[in-house]
A and B are shown apart, each in its own frame.
Chain A
Amino acid sequence: QVQLVESGGGVVQPGRSLRLSCAASGFTFTTYGMHWVRQAPGKGLEWVAVISNDGSKKYSADSVKGRFTISRDNSKNTLYLQMSSLRAEDTAVYYCARFGCWGCGPDYWGQGTQVTVSS
């Protein structure tokens, strides 16, 4: 079955960096694009970044542009989110999610990993 397992979250000071990983299994990773979506405490869903199945297309939200970088290693079936210059407002649960259709939204989501930015 499809599994997406995020890791790498934790507590980090403002201005520092963190790298999230998402290990995929149960499907052919190279045929799906991937999103990162976050959810601040008690808030709704916010799209963060997306990458195409082959890594050739990447887009990110204005709120993270220039600070967060999405990437993938298809040889390891793993998605990444490199986060730098972290701010308090980046505190959220970060979900990785796969998609097969650019407009259809993610059809499978991971369980999420908590990122807390605090001094």
Chain B
Amino acid sequence: DVVMTQSPLSLPVTLGQPASISCRSSQSLVHSDGSTYLNWFQQRPGQSPRRLIYKVSNRDSGVPDRFSGSGSGTDFTLKISRVEAEDVGVYYCMQGTHWPPWTFGQGTKVEIK
């Protein structure tokens, strides 16, 4: 199974400042079809998860453009350009290249300083 490793696990940020979360996979996420199936999810306190980004860098409908995804191979990053109060929560990366199983990172908790 592909192991997804996120860092940091806790990320205190100042409102209006940028934030960055790293996600590394134990093997390359490049699929034989040429796509890279690395996805990002946000889970606000008390809520269900919500997909933010799919296939590395594609933002879902309604996701603010302050969220961006990048990376390739085994190293990926989720960036928030200017953190807002509503961004507090836990962020998960998930790989969908080598399935089953679909595997998630441990989660990164974003909080306001």
Q: Are A and B physically bound partners? A: yes
Contact surface of A with B, Cβ cutoff 8 Å: 35, 37, 44-47, 50, 59-62, 95, 97, 101-107, 109-112
Residues on B with C-beta less than 8 A from A60 are 100
Give 1 or 0 for each of B95-113: 1 = CB within 8 Å of chain A CB: 0110111111111000000
Residues on B with C-beta less than 8 A from A112 are 48
* 13 sample A-B contacts, Cβ–Cβ < 8 Å, listed by A number: A37-B49, A45-B49, A45-B92, A47-B100, A95-B48, A95-B49, A103-B99, A104-B37, A104-B51, A105-B37, A105-B41, A105-B94, A109-B49
- What is the size category of the interface that chain B forms with chain A? 20 to 34
Q: Is the interface of B mostly helix, strand, loop or mixed?
A: loop
Whether the Cβ atoms of B96 and A105 lie closer than 8 Å is: yes
Contact surface of B with A, Cβ cutoff 8 Å: 31, 35, 37, 39, 41, 43, 48-51, 54-55, 60, 90, 92, 94, 96-97, 99-107
